[in-house]
Chain A
Amino acid sequence: MSLLAALTRAYDRLPDAPPYGFSTEKIGFCVVLETDGRVAEVIDLRGDDKKRSPRMLLVPQAVKRTAGIAPNFLWDKSAYVLGVTAGEGKRTAEEHAKFREKHLDWLADTTDPGLLALCRFLESWDPASFAAPQWQDEARDQNLVFRLSGEFTFLHDRPAARTLWREIGAEGASDPQICLVTCTPGPVARLHPSIKGVWGAQSSGASLISFNLDAFTSYGHDQGDNAPVSEAAAFAYTTALNRFLEKDSGHRIQIGDASTVFWADAPDDAAEEAENLFSAFFDPAGDEKLAAAKIKDKLDAIRSGTRLTEVAPNLAQGVRFHVLGLAPNAARLSVRFYWTSDFGTLTAHYQRYLQDTEVQPPPRDGWPPLWRYLIELAVQGKRENVPPLIAGEWMRAILTGAPYPLTLLSTTLMRLRADGEVSPLRAAILKSILIRNFKSKEAPVALDPANTNKGYMLGRLFAVYEEVQRAALGGNVNATIKDKFYGAASATPQKVYRTLDAGAQNHFSKLRKQSPGRAVNLEKLLTAITDLMEPGNDPYPASLTAAEQALFGLGYYHQRSDFFRKHDDKTPEVTE
């Protein structure tokens, strides 16, 4: 099933989906009209909260405004409805004129008293009469709707308005063609409704399907005719997608620059449970949230490697799961990844990802969310510096169980060379790439003293040199050998190891005077590592491959954490 078809199906499952041709919009005020078009009163519809957030009302679907002036049907912002804005508004007068003209045109044949009242109002309205006490200043730039005095339904909810809207709604569509989503003939959407809420895209919304430059068009087709999607299908997929992209919809997580939405095709309870589990997989929520969703035990069981058929048999079979990653590119949206399969497969792939990234000692807070890993790849650890594409590619690889993108390795190595910070997260990334892409059996979870891979041994050796320096000179060295040599040692060992060795001898001679026991211990460790090296096999090669550099990082991480662990073991003895 294609992406659009899946979203169209998801629309049918939405619990309170707006009907075709309508959308939920933020409305601030309601203008109450007398039948002769005079304004009876203006009602504030906004909530009581601090931000006075506007009420979400179901109104005729907003038109797509780009550069042109186009009014909405029976509602709009104050510039269109009244010709009034808070700012300068160069085209306010034009916008209001258009609103008036269009509505008088649309409503020309109506006999409905409510719609006639609007006609009278538009004919007689003068923007200058926008004044207190009737009009509050806060109504500027809010969206306005209308109501007839003495009645409770809004003008756009009147049956006459709804009938009229159905006729108007079909105006913009082009000739009937076969729809590539539903495969039934119907009027084709020229411009698709905007998708809002994608991180980094324009706040007014961006398009998933658009043909805004002529290099994108084929066979002389214009706009939506390039990919015939019926009005109904276009409405359905955008409504579903917009709903999923809303904040706190329970259907979205942010992974790098990819706004990721997910949904399940299943009976309601199972779907919700699967969605909760998925969001906890990649963006662990607080304990309360997990408890509220009643998934804590199941999540723990899945993380410890129990098969889904045992944890939640209802999810293992027949729950189709969809994951879609969207990222902005110029004014368009681009699909970073779209994955669909059943939830059992997804869980198995997630467990494999956990297994691959396992390192000893583990990161401090257990199950770091994916974005924490991604930040390790960003310059200065800033979220906006995460290299684009990597997040999406990586996520795709995790979901499909495929090899990881090799750019992940090169980026991690580049960050390591730049700042030399071998964090548990970076070690985990290195290890998982070694296992997945290089089928490396030499990438151990914890310190492996018998490992004879060159990269791994050199990494350990480097950690020992650093420890010797620390033992001799204390922790307050301005630039340690790690700061100075990590990059060179991991990439071109031959150039630096002789220098390091010479330096270490000086440190040893100092250390022997201060604490001879520690010097002996470190020297033993050093020989234990160098004994593993075979002189014939060139222990200090001119360069290391990317995979060996990854093992270097892992070896360094293991050996160095080992010092800290031993250190921890000793402290109680001292205090006794």
Chain B
Amino acid sequence: MSISSQLDQDSGQLIISVAGRFDYSLHRDFRACYEHVSVEGIQLILDLSSADYMDSSALGMMLLLKEHAEKSQALALTIRKPSPAILKILEIANFDKLLKIEN
């Protein structure tokens, strides 16, 4: 599985982790990670520490997740530990101005 999610009610976090190539082929699984989960008051974390490549569809999926977080009153969306290659793509698209990125 190159995508997995873990909801921790105690810490109030939903962590979605993507490994390997983050592209359009994951969009269904990616959406399934948060669509039917109640995330109100929960912190959303997209963990990219194991992802090594990302395309523009992945950027689009991040925007969808951000929109979902805002609509369903989740606490915040944080992109965690992107690799240098992924961080570069985020910076080229200037997504660092749009999303919280933590290393």
Q: Decide whether A and B assemble into one complex.
A: no
Interface residues of A (CB under 8 A from B): none
Interface residues of B (CB under 8 A from A): none
